[in-house]
Amino acid sequence: MIDNEVSTPRNVIVTGGALGIGGGISRRFAADGDNVLLVDINNDAATETASAIISAGGTCTPLIADVTTPEGVAAVAAHVDAAWGGRVDVLVNNVGDFRPAKAVFVKSTPEMWEQLYRVNLWHVLAMTHEFAPRMIAHGTGNIVNVSTVEAFRGIPGNAAYSAYKAGVSAFTKSMAIELSPNGIRVNAIAPDLTDTPQTSREAMLNGRDAELIPSWIPLGRFGEPSDHADVVAFLASNDSRFVTGVTIPVDGGTLAASGWHGKARSRGWTNMPDGA
């Protein structure tokens, strides 16, 4: 277990905390003995994950709210004020999705950009704006945002998504400086190819030979939610007490070795080059 900054359980908010990377993060903080507020729009998934956490001896409350809206952010704030007296020790802004837009930017629409903006950047700003003052009042806190490796390289077909996630990493750096005098650290992680319900192993392979995986990912496998959760736990712990304003790639080395390739036998681009 990573040594927490305080000996008593911390109050932790995880947005999109039911499935995938968010689910792994919720489980990790609960396993460390913290009080987890699992915020998600999927009632069944939130209930199932919270029940599993509680059955394992953890403390977790599911809250169904859409944090891409002002009403959803307000619902989280109301719960925090009622249940925790307004105290938040860790905020994990995990919600994100690359899918609301068409694969080619010139065929996308402003309405699609707005959807991408709200789910990938707006909610990070809104949740931070809502809960940073509570951390300031207590003189301590950690905010961990979820960006992507696509914030640091071109991603043909997902230009708006990449732009908003780059905004997350830029916001992370700026807020780290703004909030550092108040004892608050702000960091981020940047995932890549991870086996989740949103990007399953089967979908990523898409009929390709699994033996090719080491040619795409230097560490030789797809990521798991726990890989990301462990780094988030580190960033929210006293072990990272002198770390702020960074985005850590949790990608098996893909950013270090990154490159997009034109498909040899069809139109488009791939970061899994097999000649297709």
- State the Cα–Cα distance between residues 149 and 254, nearest whole angstrom: 8
DSSP string across 194-210: B-SSSS-HHHHHTT--G
* CA atoms within 13 A of residue 244's CA, in its CB half-sphere: 19
Q: Which of 122, 131, 161, 216 is catalytic?
A: 161
CA distance 37 to 91: 10
Tell me which residue has tokens 């809104």: 126
Give yes or no for a contact between 88 and 11, defined as CB atoms under 8 angstroms apart. yes
Say whether 223 sits in a helix, a strand or coil: strand
Q: Is 164 a catalytic residue?
A: no
> How far is Cα of residue 29 from the mean position of the Cα atoms in its chain?
14
Beta strand pairing call for 247-250 and 184-191: parallel
Q: How far is Cα 203 from Cα 13, in angstroms, rounded to an integer? A: 30
Coil, helix or strand at residue 196: coil
- List the beta strands (DSSP E) in 49-97: 59-64, 90-93
Give the three-class secondary structure for 110.
helix
Which residues are catalytic, by number?
161
